[in-house]
């Protein structure tokens, strides 16, 4: 089934605009290097989905 979402969760799009890596500071003060999101980041790692519910019959 084709599902057209709002396009907010496509990490592979973000990969084209983010730097190769970024340094993030973790809660305990240590730093870590995070590589740019790779193509194998799956949908299950994404915690937020957004949709305009106009796209469902019966909803208005």
Partner 1 sequence: MTVCAVSTEVVADRAAVRFDLDGAWQLHPQVSIRSERFGALLYHFGTRRLSFLKSPTLLAVVRGLKSERSARTACAAAGVAAPDMPSYTSALATLAASNVICERSLG
Partner 2 sequence: MTALASPSTGVGSLVDQFQFGLDAPICLTWELTYACNLACVHCLSSSGRRDPRKLSTAECRAVIDELERMQVFYVNIGGGEPTVRPDFGELVDYATEHHVGVKFSTNGVKITSEIARRLAASYYVDVQISLDGATADVNDAVRGTGSYATALQAMRNLADAGFTGFKVSVVVTRHNAGQLDEFESVTDSFGAQLRLTRLRPSGRGADVWDELHPAAAQQRDLYDWLLAHGEHVLTGDSFFHLAGYGESLPGLNLCGAGRVVCLIDPVGDVYACPFAIHENFLAGNVRSPGGFQRV
Q: Point out which residues bind partner 1 (CB under 8 A).
A: 6, 8-9, 11, 14, 17-18, 22, 24, 26-28, 32, 34, 37, 45-54
Instruction: Note whether 23 binds partner 2 by CB under 8 A.
Output: no
- Given the structure tokens 């915690």, which residue do they identify? 47
- Lookup: tokens for 10: 């496509």
To partner 2, the closest distance from the beta carbon of 32 in angstroms equals 6
Cβ proximity of 22 and 45 under 8 Å? no
Q: What does 28 bind: partner 2, partner 1, none (CB cut-off 5 to 8 Å by kind)?
A: partner 1
**Residue length, the chain?**
60
């Amino acid at each position: 089934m084709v599902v057209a979402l709002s396009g907010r969760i496509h990490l592979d799009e973000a990969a084209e605009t983010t730097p190769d890596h970024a340094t993030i500071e973790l809660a305990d003060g240590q730093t870590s290097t995070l590589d740019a999101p790779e193509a194998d980041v799956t949908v299950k790692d994404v915690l937020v989905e957004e949709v305009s519910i106009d796209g469902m019959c019966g909803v208005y």
